[in-house]
Amino acid sequence: MYAGKLVFAQLTDLIHPEQFRRCVRRYHGDYKVKTFSCWNQFLCMAFGQLTFRESLRDVETCLRSRHGQLYHLGIRGEVSRSVLADANRERDWHIYHDLAQLLIRRARGLYAKESFGAELKETVYALDSTTIDLCLSLFPWARFRRAKAAIKRHTLLDLRGSIPTFISISQGKQADVRVLDELVLEAGSFYVMDRGYVDFQRLYGFVLAAAFFVTRSKTNLQFNRLESRPVDSSTGVRSDQIIWLRNRSSIQHYPDKLRRIHYVDAETGKSLVFLTNNFALPALTLARLYKDRWKVELFFKWIKQHLRIKHFYGTSDNAVKIQIWISICVYVLVAIVKKQLESNLSLYSILQILSVNAFEQDPLHQILRNSAPQILEGNPCNQLVFSY
């Protein structure tokens, strides 16, 4: 029988307590902590993400106004802005990184059979980065330019379910291509990237790992054509060539053949040239894989618009990373809820419903079911609805 738990508690119940404790013990998160544990910290920060609080003071005020229900949320003791700020500054952000990885692994299992447009059995990833602007006077450790601070969030997105599988946070001035050194490549998988990731020494690592890449070609690429394959120009594919790099240093870094595909998008008229190390799939399929890369950009927009990711609760490097990783945890929890309850609502709608019902005691599936008819009948044309 349903125990009457608060909606927020039903959401956080998706996190296995022992798995969370292991993450905390791994980095000694609760060492010498008496009153405000890492679990309390996570709950307060996740509450701020879910209910769109702008600051730690907002989080403190809202939770204290519901003092009688804090125990039912799972929060033990008083919520203090200063104590929460100290926890964000001092406790290792890797705790919430590891928690996010556990949730991501669970979500990927739920979305493993999800279709993303291309009929492929292999896993397809989209890799991209987004820059988050910061105030230099508050974040001096993130200096980007003379009078500007910024960080970059590099994300590898599984196109089945749009689940982020890898996230790296770097200085804003770091070149995007350097994140390729951090990836653990999966044999047989496809990695779709923009031309900012064209580095032939690093791309040859995909060949050695038996993985495939699809990326935009730079305009000044020097190559020799070895073979031209027949194409159907009505599909938008203008050429399909097997090439060999001409530049001596490029050959040293990539001593193998490449496939070069010229494609013209019928909708926009844009001319695109792709490079790949896959020689088996049809050229049109590879072009469509690159087109699906827009999902990672939509993911960035969704996160920035609907979670607290542009305005930070703390100014230290550790506090920023904690907030980013807990926002990812909240995003993945909402994705898990959507799949487990087989809801037809978009992630945006589910997030909005959870935000205004955090202290309700109705079953989560009932709240989503009761809200579905009114939302589905509407036309949120002015909202970014991340639906899949």
Determine the pLDDT at residue 106: 94
What lies within 8 Å, CB to CB, of 61 at 6+ separation is none
Beta strands in 98-175 (DSSP E): 124-134, 143-145, 148-158, 163-171
Burial class (CB in 10 A: 0-12, 13-18, 19+), 67: exposed
- Are 319 and 88 spatial neighbours (Cβ–Cβ below 8 Å)? yes
pTM of this structure = 0.87
> Domains in the chain, start-ordered, CATH in brackets?
209-278 (2.20.25)
Determine the pLDDT at residue 44: 95
Regarding beta strands 212-216 and 190-193, do their DSSP bridges make them parallel or antiparallel, or are they unpaired? Answer: parallel
What lies within 8 Å, CB to CB, of 153 at 6+ separation is 129, 130, 132, 167, 168, 169, 300, 324
C-alpha span between 81 and 128 (Å, rounded): 35
Residues of the chain with pLDDT under 70: 1-3, 117-118, 372-388
Task: Reduce the DSSP state of residue 122 to 3 states and report it.
Answer: coil
Residue type, 228: S
Determine the pLDDT at residue 229: 94
Tokens read off for 146: 């003379």
pLDDT digits 0-9 by tens, 299-319: 888 888 888 777 899 999 999
**Residue (of 300, 245, 341, 303) closest to 10 by Cα position:** 341
**Residue (of 368, 328, 332, 380) closest to 169 by Cα position:** 328
Determine the pLDDT at residue 117: 64
Determine the pLDDT at residue 3: 58
Determine the pLDDT at residue 378: 47
